[in-house]
Copies of this chain bind each other. A is one copy, B any other.
Amino acid sequence: MIADKMKGFVKNSSAIRAMFEEGKKMASVYGAENVYDFSLGNPNVAPPEKVKEAIEAILKEENPLEVHGYMNNSGYEGVRSQIAESLNERFGTAFGAENILMTVGAAGGLNVILKSILNPQDEVITFAPYFGEYRSYVENYDGILRSVPPHAPDFQPDLAAFEEMINGRTKAVIINTPNNPTGVIYSEETITRMADILNNKQKEFGTDIYLIADEPYRELAYDGLNVPYLTKYYDNTVVGYSYSKSLSLPGERIGYLVIPDEAADSEELRAAANVANRILGFVNAPSLFQKVVARCTSASTDIEYYDRNRKLLYSGLSEMGYECVKPEGAFYLFVKSPLEDEKAFCEAAKKYHILIVPGSSFACPGYVRIAYCVAYETIEKALPYFRKLAEEYINN
């Protein structure tokens, strides 16, 4: 009796989420301290103290009717102004409140923009490995997700294959840098070449192609690496942002879309996104947390924490013989599976209470994703078991 379309979604339901549930079950059986759950991008760094202070200050200083009430479906004007100003200061952009639409996380934002632009059978291109939810989001609006094959071992985007994939039905491209699951950051040169390709293809087909930058990991860049701000390189860019990782607020569902003036049909697109936000049932981003993030534009998560984890895990696994690309950003390590069937390897890891996600969830079988947004001690304690797995499956 459920919808036909949902049957497939339910059947292929997120392996990552299933793992998260399994982790909780294992924790209740073996004790949380004996389960090494690297499955979900659920930060183990508490939100900055500023978040709590902001909540308390808002409750004390502001009118509760305003704090918890309806506002424009795009969000509080003041909040949107503050976010625009913060972006302008950091990236030399020139956004105003009207370019910002507050969303229920980045997932909400991506759904809003895709509903706003996709006609049935429109194509959206992304680069494997990619966050598996992109497929669901695109199919929600009867679009077709096409993915550029993964470019192992460096996982930089294969721009030649990308160029070939673009056609007259290509409505959008989703990129995610710093990348989940590889940790790769696209360089300025890569972005410039991508923009050239898109501009040429727009001319060739007489179409507009939106570049959707999914940026929940923007602030998580290591070694002082620069993450280029996309709107400066390509006019038809829409940025989807989330505070889930940067302020460790994944459960609060707070983020925003940036729709610049330079985007094609910008005004109509912003009107459509405002309506899509409403009719998809979001109505507006949660009100208190809109005000919280506006007060926290200068706060940030403890990147050193993740960096320590990154170094420990990367050097530890590399030394054991695992092959992986050193992450430049985000908090994932994408490791070549010692077994060709990486699902079998994930199963094998479970016997040591290690939970990791098969690469096939990211359209990249043969690899596994290890989310290192965990306690340092979890990595320390798990490494001997990774060594056992290496002894069983690599050095044999």
Query: Residues of A with Cβ closer than 8 Å to B?
Result: 1-6, 9-10, 13-14, 17, 20-21, 40, 42-44, 46-47, 51-52, 55-56, 59, 64-65, 67-73, 104-105, 107-112, 115-119, 133, 136-137, 140-141, 208, 248-253, 264-265, 268-269, 271-272, 275-276, 278-289
Give min CB distance, A285 to chain B, whole Å. Answer: 8
25 contacts between A and B (CB under 8 A): A1-B268, A2-B117, A3-B119, A3-B141, A4-B119, A9-B272, A10-B275, A13-B275, A17-B73, A42-B69, A47-B68, A52-B59, A55-B55, A68-B250, A69-B251, A70-B250, A70-B251, A104-B282, A105-B281, A115-B140, A133-B279, A137-B279, A251-B287, A252-B286, A252-B287
B119 touches A1 (CB 8 A): no
Is A70 in contact with B55, judged by CB distance below 8 angstroms?
Answer: no
Q: Are A70 and B3 in contact (CB under 8 A)?
A: no
Question: Closest CB of chain B to A51's CB: distance in Å?
Answer: 8
CB–CB B10/A272 < 8 A: yes
Q: Tell me how far the C-beta of A393 lies from the nearest C-beta in chain B, rounded to whole angstroms.
A: 30
- The A contact surface, by secondary structure, is helix
Q: Which of B59, B281, B289 contacts A108 (CB 8 A)?
A: B281
Q: Which residues of B contact A283 (CB under 8 A)?
A: 104-105, 107-108, 253
Please determine whether B249 and A68 come into contact, CB atoms closer than 8 angstroms.
yes
Contacts of A51 in B (CB 8 A): 64, 68
Tell which of B2, B56, B110 touches A59, judged by Cβ atoms closer than 8 Å: B56
Kindly state the separation between the CA atoms of A47 and B64 in the bound complex, as whole angstroms. Answer: 7
In the assembly, how many copies of this chain are there?
2
- Cβ contact of A117, chosen from B1, B42, B46, B108, cutoff 8 A: B1
| Least CB separation from A73: chain B residue | B17
Which residues does chain B contribute within 8 Å of A46, judged by CB atoms? Answer: 64-65
Say which residue of B52, B69, B280 sits within 8 Å of A280 (CB atoms). B280
Instruction: State whether B278 touches A280 (Cβ < 8 A).
Output: no
Report the nearest B residue to A48, measured CB to CB. Answer: B64
Q: Indicate whether A253 sits within 8 Å of B286 (C-beta atoms), given known contacts A119-B4, A281-B104.
A: yes
**A38 → chain B closest CB, angstroms:** 14
Which of B42, B65, B140, B271 touches A70 (beta carbons < 8 Å)? B42
Shortest Cβ distance from residue A4 to the other chain B in the assembled complex, whole angstroms: 6
Q: Return chain B residues, CB-CB under 8 Å to A250.
A: 68-70
A55 CA to B6 CA, complexed, in Å: 36
Check if A251 sits within 8 Å of B284, measured CB to CB: yes
Inter-subunit contact A17/B278 (CB<8 Å): yes
